[in-house]
Structure 1
Amino acid sequence: MRPRQQHYNRGSSEYKQASKGIRKKCREAKEIWLNEQCEEIERHKTNEPGAMYRKIKEVTGFKGCSSTGCIKSKNGEVLMEKDKILERWTEYIGELFADYRGNKPEIRKAIEGPKILTSQVRGALQTMKRNEAAGPNEVVTEMIVVLEDFGIEKLTEVLNEVYDSGQIPDLSKSIFIALPKKTGAIECESHRTISLMGHVIKILLRILMMRARKSEEKLQEILDKVVEASEKKGLTINWRNIKEMRK
């Protein structure tokens, strides 16, 4: 800095040359500092992941957005009372996830189907992520895993009761968390909403999804055989009529 301070005329070649040298030194110092920070992050990578993530946030300058503790109503009024804020969030979430599809399909309950097997529950547990936030019932995957066969058998019994009756108890409830997208956000639309589902219902959904995929694969195999047999006999299939018959 001193060489540049000696030149009072900012338009002079000496001043520009001094500024250029300062910028070069700053770039070199920044590169050295970043390399040191990256080396420290690499050291924490294996044994201290928490320290690694803290260092990454420090280097990147990431700062979380804080909420103001108030929210705007639908008509623009700023709400300060806790109960009114909760009512506004309930209204907003209800509108956000409202079902406008018209007539909903009828769901047949208490119909017979293949039982959920312990092997399916075990397979679903293996695909579940660890260290995830618990849902409303505070039951996490790790609790079931640590119980080993006993936990899997009991969970299988619960899931079969839900599957056979078609009634999902409080397991289907979720906790919604609003995260502000920017500092000082007071509109609901300026928040990102995430939901914390119960781990038990997640396992049930994974099992049903795996079953649906297997059924789809079997159906595709049957359709492929039908098409192959039809082509050999010189027949054509009117897929449009088949779709209309299925409606």
Structure 2
Amino acid sequence: MLTKIKILVPVKRVIDAALKPRINKTKTGIESKGVKYSINPFDDIAVEEACKMRKSHKDLIESIHAVSIGSLKAKEVLRTALAKGVDTSSLVDVGDEEVEPLVVSKILKSFVEREGSNLVVLGKQAIDDDSNQVGQMLAGLLGWSQATNAAKVTIGNDGTVEVEREIDGGVEIVKAPLPMVITTDLRLNEPKFVTLPKMMKAKKKPLEVVKPQDLNIELTKKLETISLEEPASRKAGVIVNNVDELISKLKELKAL
């Protein structure tokens, strides 16, 4: 008899991907006031994939639980996840505190143990810090198999999970039994738009709020942002007429 799958999907509230971030006046971070926020695009893909798994394997997927770490405003991204088909959700209220990847991984580990999850599906990175570390750290803390940058996920009849990953040389296929951590890439799927009726129904689904101390997690910091600056403006390119001229220009720039 195959083991039932309980999926955990972490989601993060970030500045909307359509906006260009602005550095704040103190140059210590991104300006967060007066800007639109939404679910991290890679996490949106993770939610969509978890819901697709259930549609394809109704008898195998037992539950989907979403977790977000942030201020109370992060409830909106959890409601979006619930509207897409997630069953239950939890918000770890840390206020406006920035939580580093290792602490995020420890918090998610506590939810895996609490919910009895045996599959974690999350975005490969958040578009605000671009760390791309949480999935790998979580797998390490749990001692589970991991498949990063997933472009296609297939759950076999024997309970093993096959993941296709796009790499420089083409496509790499990895396969492992549960429990497992999967991080999602852009080409895995295209998230569907959530309709208003579904958002209204999502308000009736469970959304609990807990504090880090409820999970015996301490919000320690090991990194400090000294300053943040805009990248230098790119200089205009130069058109060359032949290879000799190209080599000459590269030597002038000391690129050769």
TM-score between both structures, scaled by the size of structure 2: 0.18
Q: Which has the higher contact order (CA 8 A, sep 6+)?
A: 2
Higher helix share: 1
TM-score between both structures, scaled by the size of structure 1: 0.19
Higher strand share: 2
Report which of the two structures shows the higher radius of gyration computed on alpha carbons.
1
